[in-house]
Structure 1
Amino acid sequence: MGAIETLAGIGMAVGPPLIYADQAYSIVKKKDSSGFSHDVCGVLLIANIIRVFFWLGNRFEIPLLMQSIFLIISQLILLAICLHYKTPSNQDSSNYAPLSPLPSTSEEGPTRGHQRQESDYLSQPPTSGTTSGSGRRKRPFDFWQWEGYGSYLEFLAGLILVLGVLQIILGRWMWYIDALGFVALTIESTLPIPQFISNFKRKSCYGFRSSTLAGWFFGDAYKTVYFFIRGSPIQFKVTAIMTLCWDSAVLAQRMMYGSNPPRESSNQFSSSRAEAEESRGLRSDGEERQFSIQ
């Protein structure tokens, strides 16, 4: 019985972090992180950092603590990979002026005031108050939509600092510890929601690995049974059931949408290709007219 408990504890500690190994490998192989919501990394990082502080007040099992530590490390690596291979495929190119140049004229010509260079369109892209550079709707303070990896690390460092101060001030009261546990595990129970929203918007599960989905579903089912058998705190049991329900919703999306690329991506590629050809045609016509005038 002791050997079984040891193996179960090892599986609980290292199993969840290993779920994301194949997802990271797929992103590196394709050099494209689209299709996988890096909000998933944010949910896991924030939830598990809070869970570590929860452990300081309520010493639950060591395998669960090690799971949190391993998840923090693995998600920091996965987040760095996602940002490194982030592509501008979701950029709304319709907001930008076409790059086809106007026929050039001499400085003394009558149309001098109407001259416009290609670089003008690039140096002054239109601004929008509702969407970010990738075409996504902005969040308050651009939360978890920052460009640099350092911004994420600064936020996480600030979170650890705040939790540390609160632990010193309020850590003696059990109501705070219990609330901390519910906050940590409630956040973790929302893990599949960002991916669910991403799949729903794109009407596709392209880029989201089946191995990750299988790891979510079977891993959370295993954790739910483990929590009830081992008599873990009620916070673990309730949130495990919530997470399993969202896993089932993402699984239903996989069955409905499949893993083919979203149609909008192929349409955007076709339209951008047509615009490029049209731009080249206008460029050739302009040069031909300029040559004939000369």
Structure 2
Amino acid sequence: MDMEVDLGVDIEGDPEGSWSLLSWLASCVMVFGGVVPYIPQYQEIQRTSNTEGFSTRVCLVLLVANILRVFFWIGKQFELTLLLQSLVMIGTMLAMLNLCCTVQTSNRVSTKQHHFTDLDIRYFWSWSRFEDYLMFCFAFTVLCAFITFLLLDSALFVESLGLLSVLTEAMLGIPQLVQNFQNRSTRGMSVKMVLLWTVGDVFKTTYFVVNESPTQFWLCGATQICIDIAILLQVCYYGQEGRPKYG
């Protein structure tokens, strides 16, 4: 009888342990999974010394969105996993910008340079040095910190901040979508790469729903999935268009 009781306890305990393990794995995927689609793109830029297939505006969108999300977390402390995800993504986007600046500097023919301190709106986010992008991020973070701590007690402001952060992130694919359309090309991109984006956004949205994250998050995820599908269609269309036709 004792053996049966002990066995029953073990059986009941296993599902809880399995669920905890799955939850921990899901959190790890959430934190680092967003970086995965950028690994092949980073390697492609390194290999070809060409940044044509990657829009640095993507970095702008993600940096702004994730900096805003950090301050949203300060006002409304949701899952720590989502805060860590933002910090990892900020680091990733800075790494992508650093690589793009290095490649563009080595390929630059003109000696004329543009800097953040010029305050010339015509060359916004088209600066010549990585340090200029860092200065922008620092200035934006200081501005956000000042406004957030000034209005931290306002629930309306905190919720609006969260909505702004996720709406900005939801627009992630728009710069790439526009660049692909303007260039009539998706050079540097592949179906595999975009599928990774789509699968990641589907997983992310599912995570938000299951963990009952603030509504802003799963609305953002659903919008991103739609944009991912649009980019996937571009890759398929322009890829087919660029292939030689026989017969």
Task: Classify the TM-score, shorter chain.
Answer: 0.7 to 0.9
Give the 5 Å matches for 1:109-188.
Answer: 140-188=121-169
1:85 is paired with a residue of what secondary structure?
helix
1:42 is paired with a residue of what secondary structure?
helix
Matches of 1:67 and 1:175, distance apart in 2: 24
Residues 29-72 of structure 1 deviation map (CA, whole Å, 9 limit, x = unaligned): 11111111111111111110110010001111111111100000
**Which consecutive unaligned segments of at least 5 residues does structure 2 have?**
1-18, 115-119
1:226 corresponds, among 207, 219, 222, to 207
Matches of 1:196 and 1:221, distance apart in 2: 19
Matches of 2:180 and 2:162, distance apart in 1: 29
Q: Aligned AA for 2:137?
A: L
1:65 aligns to 2:83 (yes or no): yes
1:258 is paired with a residue of what secondary structure?
helix
Match of 1:31 in 2: 49
Give the 5 Å matches for 1:183-198.
Answer: 183-198=164-179
Match of 2:219 in 1: 238
Residues 139-181 of structure 1 deviation map (CA, whole Å, 9 limit, x = unaligned): 9342211122121111111111011111221011111111110
- Asked if 2 retains the 8 angstrom alpha-carbon contact of 1:16 and 1:215, the reply is no
The CA deviation at 1:239 is 1.2
Q: Aligned AA for 1:67?
A: Q
- Asked if 2 retains the 8 angstrom alpha-carbon contact of 1:205 and 1:260, the reply is no
Number of residue pairs aligned between Structure 1 and Structure 2 = 221
Cα 1:6–1:163 change in 2 (3 A) is same
1:21 is paired with a residue of what secondary structure?
helix
Matches of 2:157 and 2:64, distance apart in 1: 17
- Asked if 2 retains the 8 angstrom alpha-carbon contact of 1:189 and 1:240, the reply is yes
* Superposition RMSD in Å: 2.7
Q: Aligned AA for 2:138?
A: A
- Asked if 2 retains the 8 angstrom alpha-carbon contact of 1:33 and 1:87, the reply is no
- Asked if 2 retains the 8 angstrom alpha-carbon contact of 1:13 and 1:70, the reply is yes
Match of 1:214 in 2: 195
Cα 1:259–1:57 change in 2 (3 A) is farther
Residues 176-200 of structure 1 deviation map (CA, whole Å, 9 limit, x = unaligned): 1111101111010011111111111
- Asked if 2 retains the 8 angstrom alpha-carbon contact of 1:48 and 1:72, the reply is yes
Matches of 2:198 and 2:175, distance apart in 1: 16
Match of 1:15 in 2: 33
The CA deviation at 1:251 is 0.6
Cα 1:209–1:80 change in 2 (3 A) is farther
Q: Aligned AA for 1:218?
A: V
Matches of 1:18 and 1:62, distance apart in 2: 20
Match of 1:42 in 2: 60
- Asked if 2 retains the 8 angstrom alpha-carbon contact of 1:44 and 1:188, the reply is yes
- Asked if 1 retains the 8 angstrom alpha-carbon contact of 2:61 and 2:172, the reply is yes
Larger Rg: 1
Q: Aligned AA for 2:173?
A: P
**Which consecutive unaligned segments of at least 5 residues does structure 1 have?**
92-121, 126-131, 134-138, 263-294
Match of 1:86 in 2: 104
Identify, as 1 or 2, the structure richer in helix: 2
2:104 is paired with a residue of what secondary structure?
coil
Cα 1:88–1:201 change in 2 (3 A) is farther
Cα 1:75–1:195 change in 2 (3 A) is same
Residues 83-133 of structure 1 deviation map (CA, whole Å, 9 limit, x = unaligned): 211289999xxxxxxxxxxxxxxxxxxxxxxxxxxxxxx99x9xxxxxx99
Q: Could you tell me the TM-score, scaled by structure 2's length?
A: 0.82
Q: Aligned AA for 2:98?
A: A
1:205 aligns to 2:198 (yes or no): no
- Asked if 2 retains the 8 angstrom alpha-carbon contact of 1:22 and 1:211, the reply is no
Matches of 1:144 and 1:27, distance apart in 2: 19
